[in-house]
Amino acid sequence: MTKSIIPAKLNKTKDKLVLLDQTLLPEKEKYLELDQREDIWEAIKNLRVRGAPAIGIAAAFGLYVCLNQYQTDSVSELRKELKEISNYLATSRPTAVNLFWALKRMEKRFEAEASADKSVKAIKEALLEESNNILKEDQKMDQAIGEHALKLLKPGMGLLTHCNAGGLATSGYGTAEAPMYLGFDRGYDFKIYADETRPLLQGSRLTAFELNKAGLDVTVITDNMAAQVMKEGKIDAVLVGSDRIAANGDAANKIGTLGVAILAKEYQIPVYFLAPTSTIDLQTKTGADIEIELRDGEEIRNGFGRRTAPHSVKVYNPAFDVTPASYITAIITEKGIIKPPFKKGIKGLF
C-alpha cells in the first residue's frame, strides 16, 4: 500500500516534537525538532504544520513535550502548567476544531490519572500514551474514511480536490486523498485535478507534491479554472477535507471551497466532505457559528517573498469559508457515510 509522509511525530530519544516544515515544500524537505511552547505555537500558527488532524497530533505531542520538561513532584502544580500550555497553544488556529479536541482529550486523560492518585511521573507517561493513541487512531481513521469513500467512486473518474487533505494534513493517507491512494493501489486509474488553492498554494505545493511523488495521476489547475474543467466534463466528483463541521452539516474548509461547491452544484457534480468524527463539532450549531481565521495581508501583498500588490493597499484575507449543507452531497467519516438530512445523520452518528 502506498505510504505517505507523517508530518507530525515524536522523537522519543530527544523528547522533541518533529514537524515537516510544509512552508518549504515542494523545494525542500526539512524537519523541525521543537520542545519550546513558543516554537510549537509559531509552527501551528504559520502553517509549518497544517491540516486539522495533523494540527491535533502536533498539539498533543507538543503539550506532552512541554509538560515533560516541567520539574515538579506536585500534581496540582503540573495541572496548572498543563492548563497554561494548553490555553496558549489553543490560540494558534481558532478554526481547526481538532486542535481543541486534542488538547481537551489530553486534559481529560490528565484528570483521569490524577483522580487515580497517580504520581507526576505516571501522569506524564499516560500523556505520552494518549498522544501516541491520537496518532495511531488517526492512521486507522484515514484508512476507514478511504474505504467508505471508494463505495461512492468508480474506476476512471475525474476527481477535483481543493487545498491539501492528504498525508501531509494527517498522519496516514489523509482524508480527501485517502480514497485516491487506496484507488491507486487497486487500479482505479483516477484522474486527479488539484486546485492551486490561493493565496498559499497548498494544492500545488503540497497536494501535487505528495500525489506526484507517490505516482498518482495528478494535474494542477489554478482556482479560477475549476468551472472550465467542470464544463469540459473532466470532473465526476469533488473531494475535500474540513477543519470544522457544524451539527447541521455546514462545513468549513480552506478558502475557495465554497466557490467549488457552488460550481459543482451548477454542473450536477457530487461534493463530498471527508473528515474524522473529531472534526464534527456538536457545540457549533450552524456554519454561522464557526469563527473564521483572518490572516496577515502580506500573504497576498507579498506572496512568497515577491511584491504582488501595493504595500499600502488594504487586504481582506480569510483563511476559510463555510459551505452550507445544501451544497454537500455526503459527509464521509471513519464511521460511515452521512447523507442529508445531515442534522439527523450527524446526531445518529454520535
Rounded to whole angstroms, the Cα distance separating 264 from 287 reads 20
Helix, strand, coil distribution of the chain in percent, nearest 5 = 45, 15, 40
Please check if 52 is assigned to a binding site. yes
Catalytic residue among 195, 223, 243, 250: 243
**What are the DSSP E strand ranges found in 8-69?**
8-11, 16-20, 31-34
First and final C-alpha spacing in the chain: 31
Of 158, 162, 208, which is closest to residue 183 (Cα–Cα)?
A: 158
Please check if 202 is assigned to a binding site. yes
State yes or no: is 185 an active-site residue.
no
Please check if 109 is assigned to a binding site. no
User: What is the Rg, in whole angstroms, of the alpha carbon atoms belonging to the chain?
Assistant: 20
| Coil/strand/helix, residue 51 | coil
Please check if 252 is assigned to a binding site. no
Rounded to whole angstroms, the Cα distance separating 228 from 234 reads 9
* Cα angle value 207/210/214 (rounded, 5°): 135
* Cα angle value 100/106/110 (rounded, 5°): 140
Please check if 183 is assigned to a binding site. no
Please report the DSSP string for 68-123 in residue order. HH---S-HHHHHHHHHHHHHHHHTS-SS-HHHHHHHHHHHHHHHHHHHTT--HHHH
Please report the DSSP string for 111-169 in residue order. HHHHHTT--HHHHHHHHHHHHHHHHHHHHHHHHHHHHHHHTT--TT-EEEE-S--SGGG
Catalytic positions: 243
**Which residues carry a binding-site annotation for substrate?**
50-52, 93, 202, 253-254
**Which residues carry a binding-site annotation?**
50-52, 93, 202, 253-254
